[in-house]
Structure 1
Amino acid sequence: MPQSTLDDTVERPSPLPTAVRKALPSIGLYLLFQLVSFGVLWLMSWKADVSPGRFVEGFDANWFLSVAQNGYDQPVVIGADGAPGENSMVFFPFYPGLVAILTLVGIPALPAGLVVSLLAGCAAACGLFVLGRDFAGPRVGLLMAVLWSVGPGSAALHLAYSESVLMALVAWTLVAVARRQWLLAGALTLLAGLTRASAGALVAAVGVAALVAVFRRRDGWRPWAGGLLAPLGLLGYLAYVWIRTGRPDGWFWLQNAWQMHFDFGRFTLAQIGEGLTVDRAGWVTVTALIVLVAVALQLWTWATRLPLPWQIYGTLTVVIALCSSNYFQSRARFLLPAFVLTVPLALVLAKLPNRVLAVLLPAAAVLSGWYGAYLMTIAHLAP
Structure 2
Amino acid sequence: MADRRLTTAARVRYRLTPAWVKVVVIWALSRVVSTSLLLWFAARQPANAWTDAHPDYFSFAQLWDATWYHYVAVAGYPTELPLTDDGQVRENSWAFMPVYPFLVRALMLLTGLPWSFWSVVVSVAFSLAAALAFHRLMRIVGLQAGTALFSVALFCFAPLSPLLQVGYAEAMHLFLLIVALTLLVQRRYLALLPIVAVMALTRPSGLAFALFLGLHVMHRWWIRYRDPFPAHERIASVVATAFSAVMGFMWLIIAWSVTGSFTAYTDTELAWRAPYIGYSELVPFTPWIQSAGWWMTGPMGFIVLGLVVVAFFAFLFTPWAKRIGVDLRLWVASYGIYLLAVFFPQSSTFRLLMPMFPLVGALAQPRSRVYRVAILIVFIIGQWVWLYYCWWIDGRDWTPP
The TM-score bracket by the shorter chain reads 0.7 to 0.9
Which is worse superposed, 369-378 or 80-89? Answer: 369-378
Post-superposition Cα deviations, 1:64-91, rounded to whole Å, max 9, x if no partner, equal: 1111122214631233322112221110
The residue type paired with residue 255 of structure 1 is: E
Q: Structure 2 residue aligned with 1:223, among 221, 234, 237?
A: 237
Larger Rg: 2
Written as runs of structure 1 = structure 2, the 5 A alignment for 1:326-345 is: 328-345=346-363
Hey, what does 1:85 align to over in structure 2? 90
Gap regions ≥5 residues in structure 2: 1-16, 47-53, 275-281
Hey, what does 1:13 align to over in structure 2? none
Hey, what does 1:116 align to over in structure 2? 122
Written as runs of structure 1 = structure 2, the 5 A alignment for 1:207-286 is: 207-210=214-217, 216-220=229-233, 221-259=235-273, 263-270=286-293, 273=296
Which is worse superposed, 146-155 or 119-128? Answer: 146-155
Hey, what does 2:73 align to over in structure 1? 68
1:104 aligns with 2:109: yes
1:367 offset after TM fit, Å? 3.2
1:161 offset after TM fit, Å? 0.6
Written as runs of structure 1 = structure 2, the 5 A alignment for 1:1-383 is: 22-49=19-46, 50-51=54-55, 52-73=57-78, 75-106=80-111, 107-135=113-141, 136-210=143-217, 216-220=229-233, 221-259=235-273, 263-270=286-293, 273=296, 296=311, 298-303=313-318, 304-305=321-322, 306-321=324-339, 328-348=346-366, 351-353=367-369, 357-358=372-373, 360-362=375-377, 364-379=379-394, 380=397, 381-383=399-401
Q: 2:27·2:153 contact (CA, 8 Å) conserved in 1? A: yes
Q: Report SS of the residue matched to 2:82.
A: coil
1:44 offset after TM fit, Å? 2.3
1:36 offset after TM fit, Å? 0.8
Post-superposition Cα deviations, 1:261-313, rounded to whole Å, max 9, x if no partner, equal: 56341354357647xx99xxxxxxxxxx9x98897455312333253332232
The verdict on how the C-alpha distance between 1:170 and 1:130 changes in structure 2, with shifts beyond 3 A counting, is same
Q: 1:124·1:164 contact (CA, 8 Å) conserved in 2? A: yes
Two-structure CA RMSD over aligned residues (Å): 3.2
Q: 1:152·1:371 contact (CA, 8 Å) conserved in 2? A: yes
Hey, what does 2:4 align to over in structure 1? none
Post-superposition Cα deviations, 1:48-79, rounded to whole Å, max 9, x if no partner, equal: 45325443112100111111122214631233
1:114 offset after TM fit, Å? 0.9
The residue type paired with residue 251 of structure 1 is: Y
The verdict on how the C-alpha distance between 1:309 and 1:325 changes in structure 2, with shifts beyond 3 A counting, is closer
1:210 offset after TM fit, Å? 4.7
- Distance in 2 (CA, whole Å) between partners of 1:238 and 1:185 is 21
The verdict on how the C-alpha distance between 1:332 and 1:345 changes in structure 2, with shifts beyond 3 A counting, is same
1:335 offset after TM fit, Å? 0.8
Q: Report SS of the residue matched to 2:347.
A: helix
The residue type paired with residue 119 of structure 2 is: G
- Distance in 2 (CA, whole Å) between partners of 1:120 and 1:356 is 29
The verdict on how the C-alpha distance between 1:34 and 1:326 changes in structure 2, with shifts beyond 3 A counting, is farther
- Distance in 2 (CA, whole Å) between partners of 1:113 and 1:256 is 26
Gap regions ≥5 residues in structure 1: 1-19, 279-288
Structure scoring higher RCO (CA < 8 A, sep ≥ 6) equals 1
- Distance in 1 (CA, whole Å) between partners of 2:28 and 2:207 is 28
Q: 1:185·1:206 contact (CA, 8 Å) conserved in 2? A: no
Which is worse superposed, 259-268 or 72-81? Answer: 259-268
The verdict on how the C-alpha distance between 1:164 and 1:296 changes in structure 2, with shifts beyond 3 A counting, is farther
Q: Report SS of the residue matched to 1:329.
A: coil
Name the % identity.
21
